[in-house]
Structure 1
């Protein structure tokens, strides 16, 4: 019988994180009364010391948010192919034999969230932005997009980075100038990975029948672009969809549960957002 019963999310800033609400709800739904899930303000400089100070006999795993998804990687014994592909670990599991293993649940979380809405494959897609979440979006699209992926970026350097990642993932990828981003919604699926307000200007230039939009933000919600797409009858998904689906996979890895309690975790996330 394992003594492992602790998990937590690390990052900086971290006070806004919904992860504790999601995982505590999951533990309750699974009847894991002894389990706890914390939240710790940890930056890149403090990460090695924090990890070294953990009693791994008690700790089952960690969730990592910015700016730690890359900084954690040198501290691990094993990193999954998915995490290596996008150069980001958001999940660490402390195994029974003392190993620290890193994975990325954002990528399958994106795929599962889309599949929940009936989007199993698309003939073409677009990505708005070129940061860490855009990398996860491309890795997800490598699984479900049958044709070209267009990434809208602000700089030549970002364009080169996205093109290189697309090549590694085997995607038919091209880049386009950010200012043309409104045309992204003409594709069957667009994933927006940008900060709040970045895509507001595109709302006015939408096609009459835009494709599905997955905007990874959950606050503010809905964004202007999401609202404009919804008004035109498009399928829209948000950051809570991603957060819940990736957290379900983390829960399964931490606890060994065969299926994470998706409904309970979503309800907890919705309640936390409603509470402000």
Structure 2
């Protein structure tokens, strides 16, 4: 049995097992299995180093381990090193650990699916953890005119900005694109702890939320109602997951199967950020920068 998993704390909310196991089944990889791996920070390194001997081929990494995942890797892609965080680990037959970051290309392909390429745009990224680092790097590399980062702890925002050559801000700025890379909304869906109120959301042409949960997030629902183009967390999950899947198996990921299985884990809801969602809204062309 070849094993895969997702490392996080918490990780019970993850839809990755449904998504990846559906993809494995679709391609006839019956001797592969993907599972949740709840691991507290204090035993993260010990756990990861023991995975190859337990039959693991690779693992995704989520909050709060992305920076730690890069630190323990024996080798890493140039992008992962530039970002300073990894969300995809692959294990060699000798136990060597390779790190990559599929969050960065994942957000770009999710934006491209709704025709919202960031080139020439201004962007505000909320958060300063591993996901925020990947998003800020991706937007910068894709030619965004300005990438600004806000975090509740301003020191972390300043450190991220210094590392990646973007701007740290102490309050939200007017921008074309807003990306929430914090965990706000994971527990209850609302965004009251973000520095953006409902009235201000309509000033952003595009809003992306990396959080996903049953019933969706209030941030995405409010932005959609305000006429913004939106990218939901499930779509970003699918896009980055497809890249991880290809790295582990060497096969093209069945992305539609992955999306349907991730969405099907929430039978009472849909993700408005998916490429075929009827709730995706076009941005108002009169908005700044459009």
Match of 1:190 among 168, 175, 178: 178
Conservation of the 8 A alpha-carbon contact between 1:122 and 1:188: no
Question: Which deviates more from structure 2 when the two are superposed, residues 198-207 or residues 35-44?
Answer: 198-207
Q: 1:57 to 1:77 in 2, by over 3 A?
A: same
Distance in 2 of aligned mates of 1:48 and 1:188: 39
Q: 1:205 to 1:81 in 2, by over 3 A?
A: same
Conservation of the 8 A alpha-carbon contact between 1:79 and 1:101: yes
Distance in 2 of aligned mates of 1:148 and 1:235: 19
Match of 1:240 among 231, 234, 239: 234
Match of 2:135 among 131, 134, 137: 137
SS at match of 2:259: helix
Unaligned runs of 5+ in 2: 186-190, 270-290
Q: 1:29 to 1:125 in 2, by over 3 A?
A: same
Displacement after TM superposition at 1:131 (Å): 2.8
Displacement after TM superposition at 1:142 (Å): 1.5
Match of 1:54 among 24, 32, 51: 51
Conservation of the 8 A alpha-carbon contact between 2:52 and 2:91: no
SS at match of 2:167: strand
Distance in 1 of aligned mates of 2:258 and 2:144: 31
TM-score (norm 1): 0.84
Distance in 1 of aligned mates of 2:195 and 2:259: 27
Q: 1:227 to 1:52 in 2, by over 3 A?
A: closer
SS at match of 2:111: helix
Name the residue aligned to 2:246. 252
Distance in 2 of aligned mates of 1:101 and 1:218: 27
Q: Which runs of 4+ in 1 moved over 6 A?
A: none
Unaligned runs of 5+ in 1: 168-172
TM-score (norm 2): 0.80
Name the residue aligned to 1:170. none
Q: 1:33 to 1:70 in 2, by over 3 A?
A: same
Match of 1:85 among 77, 82, 87: 82
Distance in 2 of aligned mates of 1:108 and 1:163: 19
Displacement after TM superposition at 1:222 (Å): 4.2
Distance in 2 of aligned mates of 1:214 and 1:163: 20
Displacement after TM superposition at 1:174 (Å): 2.8
Conservation of the 8 A alpha-carbon contact between 1:105 and 1:247: yes
Q: 1:23 to 1:220 in 2, by over 3 A?
A: closer
Match of 1:266 among 256, 259, 271: 259
Residues 1:231 and 2:225 aligned together: yes
RMSD of the TM alignment (CA)? 2.4
Q: Deviations over 1:188-213 (max 9, x none)?
A: 22212231222385112344x63111
1:60-79 → structure 2 map (5 Å cutoff) = 60-79=57-76
Q: 1:266 to 1:41 in 2, by over 3 A?
A: same
Residues 1:106 and 2:106 aligned together: no
Conservation of the 8 A alpha-carbon contact between 2:123 and 2:177: yes
Count of equivalent residues: 261
